[in-house]
Amino acid sequence: MGKPIIWGKKILIGITGGIAAYKSVELIRRLREHGAEVRVVMTQAAQEFITSLTLQAVSGQPVFTQLFGRQTSAGMDHIALASWPDLILIAPVSANTIARLACGQADDLLSTIYLATRKPIAIAPAMNTEMWLHAATQDNVRRLQARGGMLWGPAVGEQACGAVGLGCLLEPDELITFVETYFAESQILMGKKVMVTAGPTQELLDPVRYLSNRSSGKMGYALAQAAVEAGAEVILVSGPCHLPIPQGVSCLSVTSAQQMEAAVMQHVVGCDIFIGAAAVSDYRAESIATKKIKKSTEIFTVVLKRNPDIIAQVVALENKPFVVGFAAETDHEIEYARVKLQTKSLDMLVANLVSDTRGFEQDDNEVVVIQPDQTIEKFALAPKRIIAKQLMILIARTTGMGVVALR
């Protein structure tokens, strides 16, 4: 029998104030049983419920409790701990800590680690039902998820106050399963090469004006992030966006559709998966004025010509990758998506309705995925980072590159 999937993984456990902190002892013990290396960070409130000595005994390592500690060089524990783990799991996480992380507050060791790290973070809440269901808590959780945070739990059960409801910390075995699933999903595209196009294109009319659309690039960038987190080598071909490039992603910045076409066709050879999430302008000006066009007549006519169909060229390659297209519609998204899927001979098409609350320029999305056999899967409204991860798992399952159950 092989080693557990979390064998050798570095996991930082954050513990905040709450009676559920006692479960962290068993969680840490089980993680070490599975071969993980564990470090522990406690908030001041957590120390009211469980001692650092106990956690030091089960983790086999010193426990970090102070922002200005001296356990690392120059007392920079938050920087050293932020870069150390493969995964940060805060279990239990209180409503107070969720709020502080959502606001970017940095007044203790755990919150400064959150701001200083680029490592994956999961939170496992534990609190009274009413506190969990309060609109402020739910809004704060959504903000953390929009930044890529993973939510594990809470569960329904009897709480310390005597109430029964949603808000209990998951049991250690359940949290172990989430940890194992996370690391399994992080390997589903290991050794694969993925290209993602993202954002709008800009088609010049003159030196100061252009034709474009409302795409922010958020969905494409989230897909690139999800692909690299799944172990893939990722090339992102991006139109003009104001987004940070995901860590570990190679980005080719372009402006026009023709530039995007050139970048894609130059680098797509050898890719296993191509995801065309960019909102490429369908048309460009037939001629671009060399000087700013001055206002003169009441009606101004611009002659447009078709831009290249990038995704069609990728599909036509002799050794084409698995090709995923996107379709943003204002009505009848499934009907139009089916037509696009068939006419372009795509392997998968992701469609969504554009509105004021989802799609372009928004953090959330709700999509329908259609495959050539007319299989349809719907992903409910969620942050684009979550939608992207779900899509990456589906692509891996469909292509046979990875077999992981969707959560």
Q: Can you give the pLDDT at residue 360? A: 67
Q: Of the CATH numbers 3.40.1190.20, 3.40.50.10300, 3.90.226.30, 3.30.70.2740, which one belongs to the domain with range 193-399?
A: 3.40.50.10300
pLDDT of 354 above 80: no
The 8-class DSSP code of residue 270 comes to T
pLDDT of 209 above 50: yes
**Which SS3 state, helix, strand or coil, does residue 303 take?**
coil
Domain ranges of the chain: 10-185, 193-399
Fold held by 10-185: Rossmann fold (3.40.50)
**If you average pLDDT over residues 167-173, what whole number do you get?**
95
Q: Where are the beta strands (DSSP E) in 302-371?
A: 304-306, 322-329, 348-353, 364-370
Percent of the chain with pLDDT over 70: 94
200 — pLDDT class (breaks 50, 70, 90): very high
Catalytic-residue membership of 161: yes
For residues 368 and 351, is the Cβ–Cβ distance under 8 A? yes
Closest CA to 130 of 151, 159, 97: 159
Phi-psi region of 253 (alpha: psi -120 to 50; beta: other; left: phi over 0): beta
d(Cα 398, Cα 393) in Å, to the nearest integer? Answer: 9
Q: Can you give the pLDDT at residue 403? A: 46
Cα Rg of the chain, angstroms: 24
Percent of the chain with pLDDT over 90: 71
405 — pLDDT class (breaks 50, 70, 90): very low
pLDDT single digits (tens) 28-60:
999 999 999 999 999 999 999 999 999 999 999
368 — pLDDT class (breaks 50, 70, 90): very high
pLDDT single digits (tens) 247-293:
899 999 999 999 999 999 999 999 999 999 999 999 999 999 999 98
pLDDT of 361 above 80: no
Between 77 and 125, residue with greater pLDDT: 125
Most confident of 92-101, 295-304, 331-340: 92-101
Estimate the crossing angle of helix 384-399 against helix 218-229, to 10 degrees: 50
3 — pLDDT class (breaks 50, 70, 90): confident
**If you average pLDDT over residues 351-370, what whole number do you get?**
77
Between 184 and 266, residue with greater pLDDT: 266
d(Cα 148, Cα 129) in Å, to the nearest integer? Answer: 24
Q: Can you give the pLDDT at residue 357? A: 55
Same fold flag, 10-185 and 193-399: yes
d(Cα 62, Cα 40) in Å, to the nearest integer? Answer: 8
For residues 11 and 5, is the Cβ–Cβ distance under 8 A? no
161, 168, 241, 271: the catalytic one is 161
Distances (CA, A) of 31 to 39, 82, 110, 380: 11, 19, 20, 32
pLDDT of 74 above 70: no
Q: Can you give the pLDDT at residue 364? A: 84
Q: Can you give the pLDDT at residue 381? A: 86
166 — pLDDT class (breaks 50, 70, 90): very high
**If you average pLDDT over residues 320-327, what whole number do you get?**
96
Average pLDDT over all residues of the chain:
90
